[in-house]
Every structure is written in structure tokens, then in C-alpha cells.
Amino acid sequence: MLQSLASSLGPWSWWIFGLLLLAAELLVPGVFLIWIGASAIIVGALSLLFWEAGFWSWQLQFVLFAALAAVLALFGRRFYSNNRETDEPLLNRRGETLVGRTATLREPIREGRGRVHLDDTWWSVRGPDLPAGTQVRITSADGGKLSVEAV
């Protein structure tokens, strides 16, 4: 059924497939289907040129589509990578903004774990065993855990 539909539509079947993939990208955003849809549209454009040519078999079309999809997906991944420079390098990394600050232990550090209260948040801390009320300096952050040392 699909083969007869694709052969009756001719080169436009690639265009329809590409547009369906682009529409799916709108419904399920993730900047991935756009590259596969673009590959289908490129193969569709080439099919308009070569449809009557003897070498333009469905196998060649599929191999070209798969290769283009892989190349464009890799290009898209590189183009949209998260390694871009920003004027706010610590945005959404709140723990790292606290490095260097001092705080007072609200709960003692026992067996390497304790808690401090900074601004409006309670933070889990790691460090040497210290009693509550000790002034500590935050030396590093790993997710929601802060490493501290006595001041």
C-alpha cells in the first residue's frame, strides 16, 4: 500500500514525508526531526530532477536520505551545542555562585555532612566535622551539595 502510494505521488512523496516530519517537530520540539525532515525535502528536490533517470531507484533515494539525515543531524547537534559563550556563565547554576561566600553552620557537620542556611535556602554541606555555629567558607559546589572549610 505504501509503495503504491509513494509511486503514485512520485517525487512529491518525499516532500510530504519531509513536511510531516517538520510538523512533528512542532508538536514534539527537540530540534531533531527538523534535520530528518530537511533531508527528506532535499531528496524530494533531487527526485524532481532525477525521477525519470534510470539510476534514481528507491534504494538510492533511501540511502541518500539516510546519509543526509545523519550528516544534517550531526551538523545540527554541533550548531545547537550548549558550549556557547555567554555573558552569564553561572545562570541556572546557583550553587556555583555561592563559592567563596561565608556562612554559619546551622546544623553541625557530623560524619562529613551538615547544613547551612544561605539567603532563602537550606544547603547540604560536606566537610570536616564541625559544631553548629562555626563560620565556614564554601569552597566548591556539586549540584545541590556544597563543600566547606572552617574559616
Cβ atoms of residues 130 and 110 within 8 Å? no
Do 15 and 71 fall within a single domain? Answer: yes
pTM over 0.85? The answer is no
- Report yes or no on 49 lying in a domain: yes
Do 19 and 68 fall within a single domain? Answer: yes
> Residue 22: which domain range?
2-79
Proportion of the chain above pLDDT 90, given as a percent = 50
pLDDT at residue 124 above 80?
yes
Do 62 and 110 fall within a single domain? Answer: no
Do 16 and 65 fall within a single domain? Answer: yes
How far from each other are the two terminal CA atoms of the chain, in whole angstroms? 75
Bridging pattern class, strands 121-126 and 145-150: parallel
Q: In total, how many domains does the chain have?
A: 2
Do 127 and 69 fall within a single domain? Answer: no
Do 20 and 63 fall within a single domain? Answer: yes
Cα(54)–Cα(43) distance, integer angstroms: 16
- Report yes or no on 9 lying in a domain: yes
Cα(21)–Cα(13) distance, integer angstroms: 12
CA-to-CA separations, 2 to 6, 37, 51, in angstroms, rounded: 6, 18, 18
Do 14 and 72 fall within a single domain? Answer: yes
Residue given cell 552569564 in the structure block: 88
pLDDT at residue 2 above 80?
no
Q: Which residue has the higher pLDDT, 81 or 17?
A: 17
Predicted local confidence at residue 36, as pLDDT: 93
Do 104 and 74 fall within a single domain? Answer: no
Query: Mind listing the pLDDT tens digit for each residue in 57-97?
Result: 888 999 999 999 999 999 888 877 766 676 776 677 778 88
Quick one: CA dihedral 96, 98, 103, 107, positive or negative?
negative
SS3 86: coil
pLDDT at residue 6 above 60?
no
Do 99 and 56 fall within a single domain? Answer: no
Residue given cell 503504491 in the structure block: 4
The residue-averaged pLDDT of 101-105 equals 92
Predicted local confidence at residue 120, as pLDDT: 86
- Report yes or no on 87 lying in a domain: no
